[in-house]
Chains A and B, each alone.
Chain A
Amino acid sequence: MKSHILIKNGRVIDPSINKDELCDILIEDGIIKQLGPKLIAPNNSTIINAANKIVCPGFIDVHCHLREPGEEHKETIATGTKAAAAGGFTTVCTMPNTIPPTDNRSVVELIKNTAVKEGVIRVLPIACVTAGSLGNTLTEMYDLATAGVIGFSDDGNPVENSNIMRQALNYSADLNLPIINHCETKELSQGTVMNEGWVATQLGLRGMPNASEETMVARDIALAQLTGGHVHIAHVSTAGSLELIRQAKLKNINVTCEVTPHHLTLSDILIMGSNKTLNEFSITNSAYNTNAKVNPPLRSNADMEEMVNGLNDGTIDMIATDHAPHSAPDKICTFNEAAFGISVLETALASALTLVHEKKSDINTIINKLTFSPAKFLNSDFGTLQKGRSADITIFDLDKKWLVEPSRFISKGKNSPLNGTYLKGKVETTIFRGKIIYP
Chain B
Amino acid sequence: MNIDEKHTNKNMLDLDSFSQKDFKTLFLNTDSMMGILSKDIKKIPALRGKSIVTLFFEPSTRTRASFEQAGKILNADVINISSMGSSVTKGESLHNTALTIQSMKCDIIIIRHPDSGAPYFLSKYLNNTIIINAGDGMHAHPTQALLDLYIMQKHLKTFKNKKVVIVGDLLHSRVARSNIWGLITLGADITVCGPRTLLPQDWFKYESLPYKHPFNKITIETKIENALHNADVIMALRIQKERQVNGLLPSMREYSKLYGITDKRMQIANDNAIVMHPGPVNEGIEIDSDVVHGNQSVIQKQVTTGVAIRMALLYTLCVGTYKNESE
Q: Which residues of A contact B (CB under 8 A)?
A: 196-198, 200-206, 209, 277-288, 300, 329, 332-337
A283→B115 CA distance, assembly (Å): 16
Q: A282-B17, A287-B120, A335-B115 are in contact. Are A204 and B200 (CB under 8 A)?
A: no
- Taking a contact as CB atoms under 8 Å apart, the answer to whether A198 and B202 are in contact is yes
B200 to chain A, nearest CB (A): 4
B166 to chain A, nearest CB (A): 14
Q: List 5 A-B contacts (CB under 8 A).
A: A197-B202, A203-B116, A282-B181, A288-B116, A333-B94
- Taking a contact as CB atoms under 8 Å apart, the answer to whether B215 and A202 are in contact is yes
Q: Would you call B117 an interface residue if the criterion is a C-beta within 8 Å of the partner chain's C-beta atoms?
A: yes
Partner of A278, one of B17, B123, B177: B17
- Taking a contact as CB atoms under 8 Å apart, the answer to whether B93 and A329 are in contact is yes
- Tell me which residues across on chain B come within 8 A of A282, comparing CB atoms: 16-17, 181
- Taking a contact as CB atoms under 8 Å apart, the answer to whether B212 and A204 are in contact is no
Q: Which residues of B contact A (CB under 8 A)?
A: 2, 13-14, 16-19, 93-95, 113-118, 120-121, 123-125, 136-140, 174, 177, 181, 185, 200-203, 208-210, 212-215
- Taking a contact as CB atoms under 8 Å apart, the answer to whether B16 and A334 are in contact is no
- Tell me which residues across on chain B come within 8 A of A335, comparing CB atoms: 115-117
A205→B121 CA distance, assembly (Å): 14
- Taking a contact as CB atoms under 8 Å apart, the answer to whether A334 and B202 are in contact is no
Partner of A334, one of B19, B121, B177, B214: B121
A81 to chain B, nearest CB (A): 31
- Taking a contact as CB atoms under 8 Å apart, the answer to whether A334 and B213 are in contact is no
B205 to chain A, nearest CB (A): 8
Partner of B16, one of A206, A281, A286: A281
- Taking a contact as CB atoms under 8 Å apart, the answer to whether A332 and B214 are in contact is no
Q: A198-B209, A198-B215 are in contact. Are A336 and B115 (CB under 8 A)?
A: yes
Q: A198-B215, A204-B136, A287-B120 are in contact. Are A334 and B113 (CB under 8 A)?
A: yes
- Taking a contact as CB atoms under 8 Å apart, the answer to whether A336 and B124 are in contact is no
Q: A197-B202, A204-B138 are in contact. Are A288 and B117 (CB under 8 A)?
A: yes
- Taking a contact as CB atoms under 8 Å apart, the answer to whether A278 and B120 are in contact is no
- Tell me which residues across on chain A come within 8 A of B17, comparing CB atoms: 277-278, 282-284
Partner of B201, one of A196, A203, A283, A334: A196
- Taking a contact as CB atoms under 8 Å apart, the answer to whether A288 and B120 are in contact is yes
- Taking a contact as CB atoms under 8 Å apart, the answer to whether B19 and A333 are in contact is no
- Taking a contact as CB atoms under 8 Å apart, the answer to whether B208 and A198 are in contact is yes
Minimal Cβ-Cβ distance residue in B for A287: B120
Q: A283-B14, A284-B17, A334-B115 are in contact. Are A205 and B213 (CB under 8 A)?
A: no
- Taking a contact as CB atoms under 8 Å apart, the answer to whether B138 and A283 are in contact is no
A395 to chain B, nearest CB (A): 40
Partner of B213, one of A198, A283, A285, A333: A198
Partner of A300, one of B124, B138, B208, B212: B208
- Taking a contact as CB atoms under 8 Å apart, the answer to whether A281 and B121 are in contact is no
A158→B13 CA distance, assembly (Å): 38
- Tell me which residues across on chain A come within 8 A of B139, comparing CB atoms: 203-205
- Tell me which residues across on chain B come within 8 A of A197, comparing CB atoms: 202, 208
Q: A197-B208, A281-B214 are in contact. Are A205 and B116 (CB under 8 A)?
A: yes
A204→B123 CA distance, assembly (Å): 18
Partner of A204, one of B18, B116, B209, B214: B116
Q: A278-B18, A285-B13 are in contact. Are A333 and B93 (CB under 8 A)?
A: yes
A283→B177 CA distance, assembly (Å): 13
Starting from the known contacts A281-B213, A334-B117, A334-B121, 15 additional A-B residue pairs (CB-CB under 8 Å) come to A196-B201, A196-B202, A198-B202, A198-B215, A204-B116, A204-B138, A204-B139, A278-B17, A278-B19, A284-B120, A286-B124, A288-B121, A333-B93, A334-B115, A336-B137
A334 to chain B, nearest CB (A): 4
A256 to chain B, nearest CB (A): 30
B87 to chain A, nearest CB (A): 16
- Tell me which residues across on chain A come within 8 A of B208, comparing CB atoms: 197-198, 300
A104→B154 CA distance, assembly (Å): 71
A281→B214 CA distance, assembly (Å): 8
Minimal Cβ-Cβ distance residue in A for B113: A334
- Tell me which residues across on chain B come within 8 A of A277, comparing CB atoms: 2, 17
Instruction: List the 6 closest pairs (A to B, CB-CB), nearest first.
Output: A204-B139, A288-B117, A204-B138, A204-B116, A334-B115, A282-B16
- Taking a contact as CB atoms under 8 Å apart, the answer to whether A285 and B120 are in contact is yes
- Tell me which residues across on chain B come within 8 A of A281, comparing CB atoms: 16, 210, 212-214
- Taking a contact as CB atoms under 8 Å apart, the answer to whether A287 and B117 are in contact is yes
B136 to chain A, nearest CB (A): 7
Greatest chain B CB density within 10 A among A201, A278, A335 is at: A201
A206→B203 CA distance, assembly (Å): 15
Minimal Cβ-Cβ distance residue in B for A271: B117
- Tell me which residues across on chain A come within 8 A of B93, comparing CB atoms: 329, 332-333
A200→B202 CA distance, assembly (Å): 10
- Tell me which residues across on chain A come within 8 A of B177, comparing CB atoms: 202, 204
A200 to chain B, nearest CB (A): 8
A332→B200 CA distance, assembly (Å): 28
- Tell me which residues across on chain B come within 8 A of A209, comparing CB atoms: 201
- Tell me which residues across on chain A come within 8 A of B203, comparing CB atoms: 201
A410→B124 CA distance, assembly (Å): 26
Minimal Cβ-Cβ distance residue in A for B125: A332
- Taking a contact as CB atoms under 8 Å apart, the answer to whether A333 and B121 are in contact is yes
- Taking a contact as CB atoms under 8 Å apart, the answer to whether A337 and B115 are in contact is yes
Partner of B174, one of A204, A279, A280, A332: A204
Minimal Cβ-Cβ distance residue in A for B114: A336
A278→B181 CA distance, assembly (Å): 11
- Taking a contact as CB atoms under 8 Å apart, the answer to whether B123 and A285 are in contact is yes
A202→B95 CA distance, assembly (Å): 24
- Tell me which residues across on chain A come within 8 A of B214, comparing CB atoms: 279, 281
- Tell me which residues across on chain B come within 8 A of A283, comparing CB atoms: 14, 16-17, 120
- Tell me which residues across on chain A come within 8 A of B181, comparing CB atoms: 282
Greatest chain A CB density within 10 A among B117, B181, B200 is at: B117
Minimal Cβ-Cβ distance residue in B for A329: B93
B115 to chain A, nearest CB (A): 4
- Taking a contact as CB atoms under 8 Å apart, the answer to whether B201 and A204 are in contact is no
Minimal Cβ-Cβ distance residue in B for A206: B138
- Tell me which residues across on chain A come within 8 A of B200, comparing CB atoms: 198, 201
A251 to chain B, nearest CB (A): 30
A109→B94 CA distance, assembly (Å): 40
- Tell me which residues across on chain A come within 8 A of B174, comparing CB atoms: 204
A285→B125 CA distance, assembly (Å): 9
A204→B119 CA distance, assembly (Å): 13
- Tell me which residues across on chain A come within 8 A of B125, comparing CB atoms: 332
Minimal Cβ-Cβ distance residue in B for A279: B214
B86 to chain A, nearest CB (A): 17
Partner of B116, one of A278, A280, A285, A336: A336
